[in-house]
Structure 1
Amino acid sequence: MADRLLGVAEAAERLGVGERFIRRLVSERRIRYVKVGKHVRISDTALDAYVEARTVEPVRTRRSGFRAAA
């Protein structure tokens, strides 16, 4: 099945950001995109890859206990 191509507005809505942010990602070439004539389209997998590459895993630290107040 072919990957769905999203417009800038649809991509912005999916990520929960503004259209300006998506356009900046495209202009800085920080996300994969397709040019269809003068229109920019971003595939579902490109958005998934962008999110996956920037996902930060939590760091778990063990607490050594509580200190007494001075």
Structure 2
Amino acid sequence: MAPFDYHMTFPRGYNHPSLKEQRILAKHNQTDKDVQINALKRYLKTEKKDLIKLIHYAKLFKVDHELRSYLEVLI
């Protein structure tokens, strides 16, 4: 199953370059990590889990190192 593809549209002149920089450089807060870990725990409990596919998508999004560290603890 492929991840969803999100698109955003903005009124003309609204998409200012400094807005992009702030979004890219923003750090994840603890709530984000809690949500991610909770979602991963729920996924690991499902019968349809596919760890090979999960790791494949993690590599595509360049979060495989972080995912592997979570999996080492949770499995």
Name the TM-score, length of structure 1 as normaliser: 0.29
> Which structure exhibits the higher relative contact order, with contacts defined as CA atoms closer than 8 Å and separated by 6 or more residues?
1
More helix per residue: 1 or 2?
A: 2
User: Would you tell me which structure has more strand in proportion to its own residues?
Assistant: 1
